[in-house]
Amino acid sequence: MHTVITGTGSHIPSVVVPNAHFLGGDFRGPDGRPIEKPNSEIIGQFEAITGIRERRYVPDDLVTSDIASEAAEYALESAAIDRETLDYIIVAHNFGDVPAGTRSSDFVPALAARVKKKLEIANPRTVAFDLIFGCPGWLQGVIIADSLIRSGDVRRVMVIGAETLSRVSDPHDRDSLIYADGAGAAILEGRNGEAPVGILSHSVRSDTIEHSRMLFMGASYKNDAYPEARFLKMEGRKLYKYALNTVAGAIKESLERAGATINEVSRILIHQANGKMDEAILRALYHLYGIAEPPKDIMPMTISWLGNSSVATLPTMFDLIQRGQLGDHKLESGQLIVFASVGAGMHINAVVYRMP
């Protein structure tokens, strides 16, 4: 039994927020003091480091479960299946539904249950649950779906990654410029056959002793602005170093488990966390194989215009490619591709996948 992706969908929010939007921001450091640089310089340095020129936010009348449901609808249409035949719905996220203006996470009921209701799925055997795994959550959901399908008792699983990070980012923290909103979904099905297609292998690691506080929830950098609220905070330099030292190794491990080499890979899809970091990870991966420079265009990127939408970056990118909406990037039958992600936990995962 092989696990293949048979349908994809995504929701790209309608509100476009360019970097110029933040020129009037009041940016401060962890000590609460204003940063002694003009905002134009702060934003210029940010764009040079991350590659982000703009990002997408959801309008005030939408929450995470809404955009997750829309991505799911597109995936169901793409797969052309009866939604009542889904065995599982897994929704990866980290903050639940955060209504506009509240800065409060709503986790009950689970977002997966809300999505199932919005999709009007009546089948009680369609089990819906949430997955909290940092930015690698969607890919971890894919790994779980593969295990369920290989067990022989499960036929179809929908895995959704959705987040509205704009609702949990501190407007006085310059790191907030990274965060964006979005949703992506994929339907995975079991397929019999001799040819090894679909998910061939995976690799996962969790480093918590020294690394669990690289991403955390903390107070606003403007101490009197939101006294009771908590916002997403990041130890950017430490996270960059950690990712650079570990992600490439996880990808190589997964390739070795699949019996493949880097030269067989057609595309590498890495979580869109930071443009420069992803490029450094790619170079580190090829250096492990003694290759000085990676092939041109092997790594699709969306971060420049979509920002970092956490669990949504990988499924959104994959859907855009599948629909022919990401430049010249195309995926063809037989090609070997790699998914990889890193995020809060700290967690890392990688999947080797052969296009059916």
Quick: pLDDT tens for 228-259: 788 888 888 898 899 989 999 999 999 999 99
In percent, the amount of the chain with pLDDT more than 90 equals: 85
Assess whether 255 and 211 both reside in one domain.
yes
What's this model's pTM, rounded to 2 decimal places?
0.94
Residue-wise pLDDT for 3-57, tens only, equals 999 999 999 999 999 999 999 999 999 998 999 899 999 999 999 999 999 999 9
In percent, the amount of the chain with pLDDT more than 70 equals: 100
Query: Which pLDDT score, from 0 to 100, does residue 195 have?
Result: 81
Average pLDDT, the chain: 94
Assess whether 27 and 125 both reside in one domain.
yes
Query: Which pLDDT score, from 0 to 100, does residue 220 have?
Result: 87
Assess whether 42 and 103 both reside in one domain.
yes
Average pLDDT over every residue of 144-150: 96
Assess whether 240 and 306 both reside in one domain.
yes
Can you give the CATH number for the domain in which 179 is found?
A: 3.40.47.10
Assess whether 306 and 222 both reside in one domain.
yes
Could you tell me the pLDDT band of residue 167, with boundaries at 50, 70 and 90? Answer: very high
Query: Which pLDDT score, from 0 to 100, does residue 194 have?
Result: 76
Average pLDDT over every residue of 266-293: 95
Assess whether 73 and 210 both reside in one domain.
no
Average pLDDT over every residue of 260-271: 96
Number of separate domains in the chain: 2
Average pLDDT over every residue of 216-235: 84
Q: Which residues span the domain enclosing 337?
A: 198-354
Query: Which pLDDT score, from 0 to 100, does residue 90 have?
Result: 98
Assess whether 82 and 227 both reside in one domain.
no
Given the DSSP bridges, would you call strands 88-92 and 181-191 parallel, antiparallel or unpaired? Answer: unpaired
Assess whether 186 and 202 both reside in one domain.
no
Residue that finishes a domain, picked among 166, 191, 216: 191
Assess whether 203 and 187 both reside in one domain.
no
Contacts of 197 (CB under 8 A, 6+ apart): 2, 4, 191, 354, 355, 356
Residue-wise pLDDT for 51-107, tens only, equals 999 999 999 999 999 999 999 999 999 999 999 999 999 999 999 999 998 888 999
Indicate whether 225 pLDDT > 90: no
Q: Hunting for tokens 């509100």 — which residue is that?
A: 15
Assess whether 34 and 112 both reside in one domain.
yes
Residue that finishes a domain, picked among 163, 191, 219: 191
Contacts of 327 (CB under 8 A, 6+ apart): 300
Residue that finishes a domain, picked among 191, 213, 246: 191
Assess whether 245 and 305 both reside in one domain.
yes
Q: Which residue from 138, 8, 12, 115 is spatially nearest to 66, judged by alpha carbons?
A: 115
Give 183: exposed, middle or buried? Use CB within 10 Å, 0-12, 13-18, 19+. buried
Strands laid side by side in the 265-270 sheet: 198-206, 347-354, 336-343, 265-270
Assess whether 183 and 300 both reside in one domain.
no
Structure tokens at 188: 């995975």
Could you tell me the pLDDT band of residue 227, with boundaries at 50, 70 and 90? Answer: confident
Query: Which pLDDT score, from 0 to 100, does residue 212 have?
Result: 86
